[in-house]
Amino acid sequence: MATDPRDFVKSFPLVPHHDIPETFADGISLTFFNGNTLRLEFTAARIDELKAQSQPTGGRHLVCRLVLTAPCAIDLINQMRRITAQLEQAGLVKTEKAQAEPAMAN
């Protein structure tokens, strides 16, 4: 038996629910971690009907609020790191490596 209950749950078979709607988002408006949960708000830009000789107008609409437990947020971060590594290998993204700041002398 696994020592971490989350590891045990991951062994359960995944039951697909095809009736769950897909949500499209093209931005994130809020991320907030309170120590227990990670809260994310996803938005989608919607442009008003275009008029000649004028700047486009529209709005950003909230399409989804997602709240994750801390362990789930850590799992999401780890999976996004794997995806980032795959995108780097494919040459689609380039990440900047953080340089260590010099220590201040006292």
Each residue of 48-93: pLDDT tens digit? 998 888 898 999 999 999 999 999 999 999 999 999 999 999 999 8
Q: Tokens 């950003």 belong to which residue?
A: 60
CB 57 within 8 A of CB 46: no
- Number of structural domains the chain divides into: 1
In this structure, is residue 7 part of a structural domain? no
Domain hosting 73: range is 26-47+58-91
Residue 43 lies in a domain: yes
DSSP 11: T
Is pLDDT at 1 greater than 50 in this prediction? no
Asked whether residue 52 is domain-assigned, the answer is: no
pLDDT of residue 105: 55
Residue 31: inside a domain? yes
- Exposure class string for 37-72: b at 16+ Cβ within 10 A, else e: ebebbbbeeeeeeeeeeeeeeeeeeeeeeeeeeeee
Whether 74 maps to a domain, the answer reads yes
